[in-house]
Structure 1
Amino acid sequence: MEVRHLVYFLEIAKFANFTRASESLHVSQPNLSKAIKLLENELGVTLFNRTTRTARLTEAGELLRLHAQGVANSLSGLQSAISDLTELRRGSIKIGIPPLIGARLFPGLIAKFIERHPAISLSFMEHGSKVLEQSVQEGTLEMAVVMLPVDESKFHIEPIINRVITLGVHPSHPLARREEVRIRDLRNEKFILFGNTFKVNISVREACIREGFEPNIIFESSHWDFIFEMVAANLGITLMPEVIFDRIEPDRIRVIRSLNPPIPWNVAIIWRKDDYLSHAARSFIDFARQAFHP
């Protein structure tokens, strides 16, 4: 049974006339008659009592009209719902964001996105990049903002930020007056870093190992503000993305923005390959791309 045949049937029932239904539907009368005949054959009943001027529903036809109207209403509702999604009148997105990125870079962007698309619901999961990658891979999250690199065989990648990791020390530290610091000069320092679920931690460790030493990590935290307080108390040094240092008071922490060799901090939005991405999610990715690369 074809839906369009039910639509034809309902239009004939509405006008009680094949000619007027044909004009309303812009379908020829022979095609209407053929569609109704197919319905009658399929159901094994007569649907209309026809005269030269009218087509009145039989008892079976009246029963079909009640059910067919429900089908037509459901189809119309489905079309409207899909239209709402594709035209971004509704939708929801669950996004993973690491704390250091969410705190500094995304509040303004999110506010502007909601202002433009007020009917789209946003929810967030806050964690380190490693955990967020796994959540996207498992389908718990539709997409996430993470530090690169990631496995490009598993994820689509939309790069949004290309920056570097910088050094923060107490103003009285011997390195505080330098414009550039070699990573090998940090061999004997005490490191205060994000936890090992954060790719910043991994990148710093790997950079130190390439320079011939394992960093002495005395404390790990998922909160950048607590790390800053530890450094401001002269308990150690920290390395984190330069954007996180932007609002730090220079009399509390001295920031050395040039490391040799540099440690890249590249950030992207990722989503799983071979997976459906909602229109709402696509619109957010486009919005973020334009915001970071106007």
Structure 2
Amino acid sequence: MDIDSLRWFQQIADGVTMTEVSEIEFITQSGVSRALQRLEREVGTELLRKSGRNLRMTLAGAAFKRHVDALLHQLDDGLAAVDQLIDPETGTVALASQLSLGTWLVPNLIGSFRQTHPDVRFELQQVRDELTTSVLQDSRLDLEITTVRPTERTVHWHTLLTEPLWLAVPEDDPLAGSNEVSLSQVADAPFVMLRTPSLLRRQTEELCQQAGFVPMVGFEGEDIPTLRGFVNAGLGVAVVPALNQVSPEAIGGAVHHLRITDVGASREIGLGWSTERKTLPSAELFRQHIVDRSMAGDLPGVAQPG
């Protein structure tokens, strides 16, 4: 059914005259009349009947109007929701990020963005640290901040920064007094690692092999804070991302961190978005905000190891 016909039927049923409808909608009275006749044919019965100079609802018209009111109310709510979504200042950004980036980088980026765009909402989806596949195939997501460089041609990648990898050791470890370490120095130590599949685990194993040994896995965890917890308990050492200056974890703790001197002891953090879907205005504003900050070298820096 034609939406205009339903709206004109609703207006006339509410007491607006045919003349007023034609003036409001900038259409001839005959055009309104023909639209209402088509509507009645589609419904299968008379909806309006002439009473003097005005039109009044029939019994069928009154029954039909209750549903028309509900339908048009829901339609208007839906249109308003879409208007809000596509308004760059009141829209919603659907953002995915890895857990290890959720304590410092993501809050920092959203916080700086909201200073100039306070009414933009965010729908956040956190994925398990080091998930080895992009989640941007989910059409509900606009952007992804990740350490996994996507291989799909449908995903564009912009490198934000390079994050060093450190070695976390217990406070009473003989190496705790140092600021840097070569992995060959901990060849005999048990390692605490993320479970497979994991990009960080694979990178740790490759760095150890490059140093001439196969790491002995003492314990496995689901996320990086868990790895640091096991290290704190004296259960092994772990290769972890460097602490960041704005991360709550950098405030203090019993775990000591050492800079790894081995070549390749770092990981890239980047921003991904689909090249097959048009980015909504609010998400495009946030994407550009992130890119601008990275190009200006205005992203949070790494804390000192220790």
TM-score by length of 2: 0.67
What residue is the counterpart of 1:268 in the other structure?
270
Residues 194 and 156 (structure 1), Cα distance of their counterparts in 2 relative to 1, 3 Å cut:
farther
AA in 2 matched with 1:32: V
What residue is the counterpart of 1:229 in the other structure?
232
Comparing 153-162 and 66-75, the one that deviates more: 153-162
Does 2:167 correspond to 1:164? no
Residues 220 and 283 (structure 1), Cα distance of their counterparts in 2 relative to 1, 3 Å cut:
farther
The answer (yes or no) to whether the contact 2:10–2:65 under 8 Å persists in 1 is yes
Measured in 2, the distance between the counterparts of 1:160 and 1:249 equals: 26
The answer (yes or no) to whether the contact 2:167–2:240 under 8 Å persists in 1 is yes
Unaligned runs of 5+ in 2: 299-306
Measured in 2, the distance between the counterparts of 1:18 and 1:254 equals: 79
Unaligned runs of 5+ in 1: none
Comparing 149-158 and 190-199, the one that deviates more: 149-158
The answer (yes or no) to whether the contact 1:104–1:243 under 8 Å persists in 2 is no
Shift, 1:7, TM fit: 0.9
TM-score by length of 1: 0.69
Measured in 1, the distance between the counterparts of 2:192 and 2:158 equals: 27
Measured in 1, the distance between the counterparts of 2:29 and 2:8 equals: 11
Shift, 1:5, TM fit: 0.9
Identity %: 18
AA in 2 matched with 1:267: I
What residue is the counterpart of 1:10 in the other structure?
10
AA in 1 matched with 2:11: E
Aligned residue for 1:129, secondary structure, equals coil
Measured in 1, the distance between the counterparts of 2:106 and 2:43 equals: 59
Does 2:54 correspond to 1:54? yes
Measured in 1, the distance between the counterparts of 2:136 and 2:63 equals: 49
The answer (yes or no) to whether the contact 2:163–2:266 under 8 Å persists in 1 is yes
Aligned residue for 1:255, secondary structure, equals strand
Shift, 1:268, TM fit: 3.3
What residue is the counterpart of 1:72 in the other structure?
72
Shift, 1:202, TM fit: 1.1
What residue is the counterpart of 2:194 in the other structure?
195
What residue is the counterpart of 1:255 in the other structure?
258
Measured in 2, the distance between the counterparts of 1:204 and 1:248 equals: 25
AA in 2 matched with 1:67: H
Note the 1:274-293 alignment, pairs <5 A. 289=291
AA in 1 matched with 2:31: N
Does 2:241 correspond to 1:241? yes
Measured in 2, the distance between the counterparts of 1:241 and 1:201 equals: 12
Shift, 1:225, TM fit: 3.1
Measured in 2, the distance between the counterparts of 1:20 and 1:65 equals: 19
Shift, 1:16, TM fit: 4.7
Shift, 1:155, TM fit: 5.3
Measured in 2, the distance between the counterparts of 1:126 and 1:16 equals: 55
* Higher normalized helix content (fraction of residues): 1
Comparing 106-115 and 204-213, the one that deviates more: 106-115
Residues 191 and 24 (structure 1), Cα distance of their counterparts in 2 relative to 1, 3 Å cut:
same
The answer (yes or no) to whether the contact 2:165–2:259 under 8 Å persists in 1 is no
Shift, 1:199, TM fit: 2.0
Comparing 210-219 and 245-254, the one that deviates more: 245-254
What residue is the counterpart of 2:301 in the other structure?
none
The answer (yes or no) to whether the contact 2:231–2:237 under 8 Å persists in 1 is no
AA in 2 matched with 1:75: L
